[in-house]
Amino acid sequence: MDRTLVPTTVQGTIRIPASKSQTIRALLIATLADGISTIRNPLDSQDTGSCVTVCELLGASIDWNKADDIITLDSRHVVRGGGPLVTVDCGNSGTTLYLAAGMTAALGRTVRFTGDVQLCNRPIGPLLDSLSELGATVEYEGRQGYPPFTIAGPLRGGRTTIECETSQYLSGLLLACSIASGDSHIEVPLLHEKPYVGITLSWLDKQGIRYRNSEDLQHFDVPGGQEYKPFDELITGDFSSASFFFCAAAICGTTVTVEGLDQQDPQGDKRILDILDRMGCTVRWHGKSVSVTGPADGRLSGGTFDLNSMPDALPILAVTACFADSQVRIVNVPQARIKETDRIAVMHTNLATLGAIISEQPDGLTIEGGHGLAGGSVDGFDDHRIIMAMAIASLRCASPLMIRGIEAAAVTFPTFFSLLESLRK
């Protein structure tokens, strides 16, 4: 489905949906626990639906009361050890794939993992190599290091070294090793997106899972034989989703307030607020909501921004940079190339098509400010964050912008376009 958006401005207040990262971790940990867990305010999206399907195929009973925004998950019938081969389709959800692969091996299950075309082009070899070193058995159906594959437990523990181009490799190991039969030692010489590991560690802390780690997150000791416990948790708003509306205020020179966020949340994407502050915006917190006001004269400052800890912000920050009054360099985010698309290349293509003066580097983008964007048409590339970023770009394009294939936004943010419409003036 295609959509044409006309230039306008935005202003007002919205409530942002729940965090995808937190929702998926909650579902998987509830499945590992032995009992009934309650997840309040979960994200309702295609990625969440993929994770729910995986949990149910493992034996969890899930009641999703969407009227009250509550998931009740009963894991008492999850098979732990043995059982028939199960095939799970993770759809487009890389978080589900990476976190569930180790978890199923630790449960002693034999599971075949697959997904959509994009997911089957996302590398998983380093994680599966480490799981093999810790006792799992892995068989690929096609390309080595990519889905589809079959993984079988049990997970014994031991020692492994892994380079984490995506933090989800390490999060998958940490969740799994705590219920392996023996202790595990993990060496991590390379780790991108450290705040996402912080989200995982916060869940382990709430669960009382024991582990030791170095301050730089390069060394972990995880005792095996531990247990996850049923819980009752509220999922807070998603800073990754909120960043689109923060940046909309920035480029329009208006004020947008986003409700439902926690300033203490470990999500790394909340640092977009610091970046917008450096670019000349005003940021104000009011309890669980935050307001961003763009500069009234429309003059956003340029600068160099390291997005290693928040790669999902690259598409929307690249759009925002087009309206800065000087050069913006987005650096140290090579992992953006192995998301749903090569987001560095795709954003270069789309913004150059609209007249941006932009160049591509191995680890980021350089955008020359002061040129703005023309209208026209761009492709969404079946990538939810590309689609949403281009929708925000349309606010300040010189003429209408047509985006091809907007339906993929539903992967993580089904209500994005309705919320954007509610702010349009």
Q: Is 232 a catalytic residue?
A: no
148 Cβ neighbours under 8 A, 6+ residues apart: 112, 113, 114, 115, 120, 140, 141, 142
- Locate all alpha helices (DSSP H) within 58-166, ordered by sequence: 94-106, 125-133
Rg (C-alpha) for the chain, rounded Å, is 21
Q: Are 331 and 340 in contact (CB under 8 A)?
A: no
Instruction: Give me the residue label for tokens 């020692």.
Output: 159
Q: Using CA atoms, how far apart are residues 25 and 14, in angstroms rounded to an integer?
A: 25
- Four-CA torsion 334, 340, 342, 347, nearest 10 degrees: -110
Q: Using CA atoms, how far apart are residues 401 and 378, in angstroms rounded to an integer?
A: 8
Supply φ then ψ for residue 231, to 5 degrees: -150, 170
DSSP 42-59: ---SHHHHHHHHHHHHTT
Q: Using CA atoms, how far apart are residues 403 and 343, in angstroms rounded to an integer?
A: 16
Q: Which of 47, 89, 116, 312 is catalytic?
A: 312
Which among 81, 44, 78 has a CA at the least distance from the CA of 61? 78
**How many other C-beta atoms are found inside a 10 Å radius of the C-beta of residue 181?**
14
Q: Using CA atoms, how far apart are residues 51 and 340, in angstroms rounded to an integer?
A: 17
Q: Using CA atoms, how far apart are residues 120 and 56, in angstroms rounded to an integer?
A: 22
Which among 107, 218, 204, 207 has a CA at the least distance from the CA of 152? 107
Active-site positions? 312
